[in-house]
């Protein structure tokens, strides 16, 4: 269990990006009524934003 | 007793005087903090249906939940010091219940907070042994920045420092419980987000966690220990005057009394401070701020 938890926390930034930032960004886009470019859906845009934030955070070990 | 009389006393006599004053404030049941804990938690819980049904706007929910998160730490802090009820006493369950419930809005596991906070008391300002030492900073804005930086995934401070402390103490039970609690918090946020309530979850739990934690770090860790250069119990903590008053600083202006006598309830620390101040001055305590 300990090792499993450790792995989950090690990949925390990626998991948090996919699990929370992506739907949060998608719902903020929906709430503001902003139309994403290239015909992307709010969720696809949310996933792109999450990847743009989560991958560097995973590599650097910090969000800011 | 005048300051002049105190200067004639030995440190041992001064210590006895200090203890006598402290004793007068210990052992009173802290009704206020118990009621505060219940009301604060009830308000936070009620925010969820109120925001979900649109009765109150999300931004207002964010402000109230952030206050709930910060304020909720105080009853838990009393419970961490067994102030509500001592181990083995009839109301011990209440002490533990308040301890656990109060920090839910802050998403801070109670046992993790308790064990690491006790270490903070034992080793205040020690560069390696104080789990809160990373909150020390040059000034107020730097303290806010440090608090945010310390919470980054691979930072040295905050939760990672607490983890290292628990490993050093071999408290793997607490570490495991804290990890499960943190994971449960993240899973709750993810579930809410993917069910279409990400904005509400961010406003009522995720952002309040960060805002509340920053506020607590500022007033409980940074301000009372600044400049954090000394480790002697009478010099490691100071009294200070906050721009937001004693209420706004969550009663921490008199934190020096809490560090010297941790079983004095929060609501009695101002009175204990003023009674104790001449003795503290005579013992070389850092009490110039008030």
Compare all CA atoms of chain B with the CA of A17 and give the residue at the minimum distance. Answer: B190
Record: contact A5-B149, CB cut-off 8 A = no
How many angstroms separate the CA atoms of B40 and A23, rounded? 29
State pLDDT tens for residues A40-63: 999 999 999 999 999 999 999 999
Residue numbers of the domain that contains A49: 2-60
User: The complex's ipTM?
Assistant: 0.95
Instruction: Please name the member of A19, A24, A28 whose beta carbon is closest to the beta carbon of B186.
Output: A19
Record: contact B186-A5, CB cut-off 8 A = no
How many angstroms separate the CA atoms of B28 and A8, rounded? 44
Say whether pLDDT at B86 is over 90: yes
Instruction: Please name the member of A26, A31, A61 whose beta carbon is closest to the beta carbon of B152.
Output: A61
Say whether pLDDT at B69 is over 60: yes
Say whether pLDDT at B77 is over 60: yes
Nearest to B142 by CA among B244, B235, B217: B217
State pLDDT tens for residues B133-153: 999 999 999 999 999 999 999
Count of domains forming chain A: 1
Whether B107 contacts B180, CB under 8 Å: no
State pLDDT tens for residues B11-26: 999 999 999 999 999 9
Say whether pLDDT at B31 is over 60: yes
Q: Where are the domains of chain B?
A: 1-26+233-290, 30-122+154-222
Burial zone of B278 (CB within 10 Å; 0-12 exposed, 13-18 middle, 19+ buried): middle
pLDDT for res A7: 87
pLDDT for res B287: 94
Please list every residue in chain B whose beta carbon sits closer than 8 Å to the beta carbon of residue A26.
198
Say whether pLDDT at B1 is over 70: no
Say whether pLDDT at B217 is over 90: yes
Say whether pLDDT at A1 is over 90: no
Interchain CB contacts (distance < 8 Å): A and B: 59
State pLDDT tens for residues A19-46: 999 999 999 999 999 999 999 999 999 9
Whether B265 contacts B25, CB under 8 Å: yes
């Amino acid at each position: 269990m300990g090792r499993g938890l450790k792995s989950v926390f090690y990949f925390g930034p990626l998991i948090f990006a996919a699990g929370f930032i992506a739907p949060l960004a998608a719902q903020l886009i929906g709430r503001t009524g902003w139309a994403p470019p290239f015909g992307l859906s709010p969720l696809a845009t949310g996933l792109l934003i999450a990847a743009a934030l989560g991958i560097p955070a995973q590599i650097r070990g910090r969000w800011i | 007793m005048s300051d002049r009389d105190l200067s004639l006393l030995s440190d041992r006599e001064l210590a006895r005087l200090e203890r006598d004053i402290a004793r007068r404030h210990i052992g009173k049941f802290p009704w206020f903090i118990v009621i505060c804990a219940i009301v604060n938690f009830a308000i936070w819980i009620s925010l969820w249906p109120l925001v979900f049904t649109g009765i109150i706007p999300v931004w207002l929910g964010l402000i109230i939940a952030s206050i709930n998160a910060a304020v909720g730490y105080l009853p838990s802090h009393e419970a961490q010091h067994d102030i509500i009820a001592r181990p083995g006493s009839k109301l011990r369950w209440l002490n533990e219940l308040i301890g656990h419930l109060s920090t839910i809005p802050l998403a801070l596991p109670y046992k993790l907070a308790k064990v690491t906070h006790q270490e903070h008391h034992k080793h205040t300002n020690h560069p390696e042994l104080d789990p809160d030492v990373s909150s020390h900073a040059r000034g107020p804005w730097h303290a806010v920045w440090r608090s945010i930086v310390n919470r980054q995934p691979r930072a040295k401070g905050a939760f990672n420092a607490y983890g290292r402390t628990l490993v050093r103490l071999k408290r793997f039970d607490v570490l495991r419980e804290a990890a499960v609690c943190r994971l449960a918090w993240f899973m709750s946020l993810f579930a809410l987000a993917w069910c279409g309530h990400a904005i509400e979850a961010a406003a009522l739990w995720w952002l309040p966690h960060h805002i509340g934690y920053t506020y607590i770090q500022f007033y409980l860790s940074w301000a009372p220990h600044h400049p954090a250069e000394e480790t002697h119990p009478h010099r490691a903590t100071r009294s200070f005057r906050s721009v937001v008053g004693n209420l706004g600083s969550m009663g921490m202006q008199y934190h020096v009394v809490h560090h010297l006598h941790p079983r004095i309830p929060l609501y009695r620390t101002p009175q204990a401070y003023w009674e104790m101040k001449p003795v503290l001055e005579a013992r070389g305590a850092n009490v110039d701020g008030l």
